[in-house]
Structure 1
Amino acid sequence: MLDFPGYSVSGAVASFFFILLSMRQPDNWRVISSTHPILARIGEDALLTCQLLPKKTAMHMKVTWYRSEPSTPVFASWDGADATEMQMEEYRGRVEFIKDGIHEGNVALKINNIQPSDNGQYWCHFQENNYCGETSLLLKVAGLGSAPYIHMEGPAESGVQLVCTAKGWFPEPQVYWADITGEKLLAVSEHSIQDDNGLFYVETTLVVRNDSVETVSCFIHNPILNEEKISIISIPEKLQNELASLKVIGPSEPILIRVGEDIQLTCYLSPKTNAQSMEVRWVQSHRYPAVYMYADGEHVTEGQMAEYRGRTMLVSDAIDEGRLTLQIHNATTSDNGQYRCLFGKDGVYQEASFDLKIVGLGSSPLITIKEQKDGEIELICSSEGWFPEPHVQWKDMEGKIIPSFSEVLTEGSHGLFHVETSLLVTNSSIVNITCSINNPLLDEEKIATFSLLEPMMSFSWKIVLIWILLLVVPVGLLMRKS
């Protein structure tokens, strides 16, 4: 037997087996669960189960259900007691730990009132002393939303424009158009958005140019449930609608509004028509969510864009003539863009579009000296509160443009721009410098003028003063000593 000083083969073998025993995996049990995804509809309850194999009691084990991090569990049970301190907030009061079969290693987690956010992977984790095991489960959440709603916008010169909308679906549904024979029709645009609850709104547009196409269907299909909803529209019937012969008139020129002012968006029917029984909405790029919606004689708050809640008011004094004005208080840079005003009745809409341009005239520019050496002066011109991006120019006293040395434009938290530009002056013949900042939409500018004589004279007097002090102070000290 080979021996080394202070070390024996028998001792090495004993240590080796001790390490193997301490490192061995818990091959005496493992965790299993369903290999198939668990399907749950929104609003219903879901049951996630897992099992120790071979069967054994888990009463004194730590059982944890988690998603991404074990430290923030969906639910945890330690030695038979619930541990809720680190539980994810969205699951508090919404989950139940079912341990009827815990003596055989069978546990389940019941999630009540399933939401879109519950969709995804879950982990079931067991721990006994230093041994642990886990398995994963996939929860697929699905929900059928509203039936598709088809309305007609037009008719237009290019044909009849049909728009199909639906909301409350999960996951994102498939949308398609078909004619009366079932042949699919090509949409010109598709749009989807998730609301605050995680549910999908879908919108698709179809332009019908063929007069022979009289009936069109819109299908909304849930790929998880393999279920769908359908709506059908008769084009000739909609063309007989009251609104089909009316027009909506809006501003013909872009509306310029300064930041902080109130916005007024007016549109009206031509010829004059009572709009009290109509739906009227102001939207941006898509119908949902809306900037503002009026229906059944009152403001509809559901589906209004969050940034417009509490900022809008409808002026309806002339509604019997088909004229309505939307007021938006305290204009911000985010209000900038294109809007559409839609009048609707019985599935037919007419609209007008217009541009709203938000403008901000910033602070007067401030010119400062950054550095002065070797006969060069660097001037800094700064200003803030501009929208859109301003034009900045340096000019001499004759109005000639001087190229800037650098220019930095930054956007603040409210969307307003801060500008800082620098100019390097090396020509001593330049006396007065002007910094002008211009708003391209308002064609207004703010100007600051800086005279180079003042800093140069100030600099010269400082040198003279230093020399005087250097000469006078020693002379005074000598006189005091004598």
Structure 2
Amino acid sequence: MKFICLAVLIISGATDSRSEQYKAVGPADPVFVVAGEDVILPCSVKPNISVVDMRVEWIRPDLKNSLVHLYEDHEDRNTEQIESYRGRTELNHQELQTGDASLKLSSVQVSDEGRYKCFIQSKSWSDDATVDFIVEVVGRPPVITVDGFDDSGGLHLQCESEGWHPEPVLEWLDSEGVILSSETTDTHRNTDGFSVKQTITVYHSDKIHCRVKLRHHTLEAVIISSSNMFHLWRASAILFSVIVVLSGFAAVLIAVFVHEYREHNQLQNENRRIKHELELLQSQKIPKVITHLETDKVNSKTVDGDSANACLTESEHGKEIIDDETKP
């Protein structure tokens, strides 16, 4: 009896010791995939043993309903699977015999991004491995816009690209591949993903590259800032300066002309006013002078009723005396 108990203890200890050697192993680095493609999330048992008779469960710990895929009792049991994963998950049952419990996920979506846990359980041991999964979305090609020259003759360039996930890296390079320092960087995130925008100022002719990178994905746009552009700016600056000077001179001449014209008009108006007042004054004084003169003339005459040669007739209004002399 003692011998049997000892044998059982030895066998049990050997089994436990052996079971402690098995381990679920996942990838050391995050798994990347472009949205719309299929991906394999690695998970296996080391040393390799068959997991056909074991329970294999893939979950997302960050979600309330966390079940992504379940294999148990030699079949897939996905009745409680997350709705968005239905019809898109698969375990290779043949690979289970070699300890490979990797999950295939089809038609990857941005919402699939996150942390996954692969849980493997047998009757004697269990273990889990973690897989970090990142979904990439390649955005639209960058577009370079010329924003004109500044006061010092620098050419302003702006590069913008949209629809990336995760956030990409945008950089400017010259014709020799040297990275140029950008002035401003503006990054936004919306339902379409990340958009990034940068501006730069160049002061010489060159081939300028705007490059947007996301891990192994790169999109690029090129613009050539030729010397003619800078010559054109210099000519435009000179022409503008000449126009400003001429405009200032013309403004001064116009101001002087307007001032002289106003003074001339004021002088003419003043002359007309004075002339009009003189005319009014003359029209009021002359009749009175004539009346007094004629009255004095009449008074100087000797009015004699017996005189036969003089006949004085008073006007109807009594204001004027008419001397009517009748000669024999």
Q: TM-score, structure 2 length as denominator?
A: 0.56
Which residue identity is paired with 2:181? Answer: P
Deviations 1:68-106 (A, max 9, x none): xxxxxxxxxxxxxxxxxxxxxxxxxxxxxxxxxxxxxxx
2:186 match: 408
Deviations 1:351-406 (A, max 9, x none): 22233333344333221223456445332211223332222122333444333232
Q: Is the 8 A contact 1:395 1:435 kept in 2?
A: yes
Q: Is the 8 A contact 1:243 1:345 kept in 2?
A: no
Residues 373/321 of structure 1: CA separation in 2 closer, same or farther (3 Å cut)? closer
2:66 match: 289
Q: State the Cα distance separating 1:421 from its structure 2 match.
A: 1.5
Residues 303/398 of structure 1: CA separation in 2 closer, same or farther (3 Å cut)? same
Residues 451/272 of structure 1: CA separation in 2 closer, same or farther (3 Å cut)? closer
Q: Structure 1: where are the runs of 5+ without partners?
A: 1-235, 464-482
Work out the CA distance in 2 between the residues paired with 1:435 and 1:406.
Answer: 14
2:172 match: 394
Q: Secondary structure at the match of 1:364?
A: coil
Which residue identity is paired with 1:320? Answer: Q
Which residue identity is paired with 2:115? Answer: Q
1:22 match: none
Which residue identity is paired with 2:224? Answer: S
1:133 match: none
Q: Is the 8 A contact 1:279 1:294 kept in 2?
A: yes
Residue 163 of structure 2, aligned match among 368, 376, 385: 385
Which residue identity is paired with 1:330? Answer: S
2:225 match: 452
1:123 match: none
Residues 397/408 of structure 1: CA separation in 2 closer, same or farther (3 Å cut)? same
Residues 270/393 of structure 1: CA separation in 2 closer, same or farther (3 Å cut)? closer
Q: Secondary structure at the match of 1:277?
A: coil
Residues 263/452 of structure 1: CA separation in 2 closer, same or farther (3 Å cut)? same
Work out the CA distance in 2 between the residues paired with 1:398 and 1:268.
Answer: 47
Residue 45 of structure 2, aligned match among 266, 269, 291: 269
Q: Is the 8 A contact 1:393 1:435 kept in 2?
A: yes
Work out the CA distance in 2 between the residues paired with 1:437 and 1:424.
Answer: 18
**Which structure has the greater CA radius of gyration?**
2
Which residue identity is paired with 2:171? Answer: Q
Alignment of 1:24-423 (within 5 A): 240=16, 244-285=20-61, 289-346=66-123, 348-372=125-149, 374=151, 375-414=153-192, 416-423=193-200
More contact order relative to length (CA 8 Å, sep ≥ 6): 2
Q: State the Cα distance separating 1:409 from its structure 2 match.
A: 1.6
Q: State the Cα distance separating 1:347 from its structure 2 match.
A: 8.5
RMSD: 3.5
Which residue identity is paired with 2:49? Answer: T
Q: Is the 8 A contact 2:150 2:156 kept in 1?
A: no
Residues 267/377 of structure 1: CA separation in 2 closer, same or farther (3 Å cut)? same
Residues 450/350 of structure 1: CA separation in 2 closer, same or farther (3 Å cut)? same
Greater share of helix residues, 1 or 2?
2
Work out the CA distance in 1 between the residues paired with 2:21 and 2:224.
Answer: 66
Work out the CA distance in 2 between the residues paired with 1:284 and 1:243.
Answer: 26
Q: Percent identity?
A: 28
Q: Say if 2:209 is the partner of 1:431.
A: no
Q: Structure 2: where are the runs of 5+ without partners?
A: 1-11, 237-328
Q: State the Cα distance separating 1:325 from its structure 2 match.
A: 2.8
Q: State the Cα distance separating 1:321 from its structure 2 match.
A: 3.1
